[in-house]
Amino acid sequence: MNSLTLPGLIDPHVHLRDPGQTEKEDFLTGSQAALAGGFTTILDMPNNSIPITKKQLLDKKIQDAMGKTLCDVGFYFGTLGDNTDEFDSIAHQVHGLKVYLNETTGNFQIDKEKLITIYQAWPEHGGPILLHAENEAVVFALEVVEKIKKPTHFCHIGNAKDLSLIISAKKKNLPITCGVTPHHLFLTIDDAKRLGPLGQMKPPLYTNEDKTFLWKQIKNIDVIESDHAPHTIAEKQRIPSPFGVPGLETTLPLLITAVRDGKLNQEDILRLCFTNPSRIFSITSSENTSVDVDITTPYTIRNSTLYTKCKWSPFDGMAVIGKVIKARIRGTTVFENGSFLVPPGWGWTV
Ligand code: NCD
Ligand code: ZN
Ligand code: ZN
């Protein structure tokens, strides 16, 4: 077996559902999935069943995470535009502000007229403004960034059109970055047909041409974010099915497999999953924090062997390499050969 040692990776876009929907995931199982996937730091989104739009709710969430997480976890604040008076008191506790401009899980979409007010009010030391924006919302948001030049991260860009808009805006030196998900890099609308509800997420899967464009433009993509969005299988099979797919445990194997297949190089993984997310979201990396990955032994992604509480993956059945064999945080081995070696609450909130 050949192994590769990487710094502890950062996933800046996960939904751990805690508090409120712990039947889907919680800070313990979510952090287990993170470590088994090579991520020692994750940043959690605010679209909980009660969205995190007040200091009191954020404090409570941080408190809950402190008692449960095995890895390091940081947070984003949420807004519908009516809580700007809370911004100054929570900016130091978060890595950014999340704004939803389109419909997605959580019914947490803003009235877009409010975006300007939100941009004016957000203090820059609170990190970038993260946008869920698709199609026309990307155009609209870029106009706002052009007016109020605050750092903005476009989450989970899924198609060629949206990425082209972002690339053009970057050429104008707007302070923007963007992320793509593994599912948009490795799956298409054909997989969505095969997967049924298990292939439904926002933004949706697009065509093979879109996927090819994302790969071609990988140098213009700043981060890979799993958008780990667990829902129980029972919920996914109900109509309407909630949007979102889990991803924490499959991102790195898919990327390592892409390196083997000549689609990516190891430096890209470092840039997309460590250096850039750490710079964009101000993550101070801890000393002696690393992951060892087996980069030769083939295995098959299987729902039954996942640590996420929801126990399924849209990549079930896929042959990959890149199993994480060990994770270390601040010199302590926290995960080794499938076992977690530290108690709940060992990880830090960052
Ligand atoms: C996410 C979720 O389930 O919270 N769903 C999704 O389809 N991506 C929300 C989001 O990131 O838009
Ligand atoms: Zn989203
Ligand atoms: Zn998301």
pLDDT at res. 250:
99
pLDDT tens-digit profile of 224-277? 999 999 999 999 999 999 999 999 999 999 999 999 999 999 999 999 999 999
Return the number of other C-beta atoms located less than 10 Å from residue 248's C-beta.
Answer: 29
Query: What residues have a C-beta under 5 A from ligand 3, the ion?
Result: 227
Nearest ligand to the CA of 20 is: 1
Burial class (CB in 10 A: 0-12, 13-18, 19+), 2: exposed
Which is the closest atom of ligand 1 to the Cα of 231? Answer: 3
The minimum-distance atom of ligand 1 relative to the CA of 242 is 3
| Nearest CA, atom 11, ligand 1 | 227
pLDDT digits (tens, 9 = 90+) for 95-125: 999 999 999 998 899 999 999 999 999 999 9
**Ligand 2 midpoint to CA 156 (Å):** 7
Atom of ligand 1 nearest to the CA of 244: 7
Q: Using CB atoms within 10 A of its CB, is residue 64 exposed (0-12), middle (13-18) or buried (19+)?
A: middle
Pocket test for ligand 1, best of 11, 104, 134, 235 (most atoms within 8 A of CB): 104
Looking from the CA of residue 200, the nearest atom of ligand 1 is 7
Mean pLDDT across the stretch 40-46? 98
In the predicted model, is pLDDT for residue 285 greater than 90? no
Structure tokens at 158: 């899924």
CA 246 to ligand 2 centroid distance, Å: 13
Residue 288 in contact with residue 251, Cβ under 8 Å?
Answer: no
Tell me the CA distances in angstroms from 272 to 8, 108, 193, 322, one per residue in order.
Answer: 13, 28, 29, 16
DSSP state of 271: I
Residue of 105, 108, 231 best suited for mutating to test ligand 1, as the one with most atoms within 8 Å of CB? 105
From residue 342, alpha-carbon distances to 8, 124, 331 in Å are: 16, 35, 12
CA of 24 to the centre of ligand 2 (A): 17
CATH number belonging to the domain at 3-340, selected among 3.20.20.140, 3.40.50.1820, 3.40.50.2300, 3.30.930.10: 3.20.20.140
Please list every protein residue whose CB sits less than 6 Å from any atom of ligand 1: 15, 47, 104-106, 132, 201-202, 227, 229, 243-244
106 CA closest ligand 1 atom index = 4
Cβ neighbours of residue 143 closer than 8 Å, sequence gap 6 or more:
none
Q: Give nearest CA residue, ligand 1 atom 12.
A: 104
Nearest ligand for residue 154 CA? 2
Mean pLDDT across the chain, nearest whole number?
A: 98
Question: Which atom from ligand 1 is nearest to the alpha carbon of 15?
Answer: 4
What value does the mean pLDDT take over residues 326-332?
Answer: 98
Report how far Cα 130 is from the mean position of its chain's Cα atoms. 11
Q: For 155-167, what is each residue's pLDDT tens digit?
A: 999 999 999 999 9
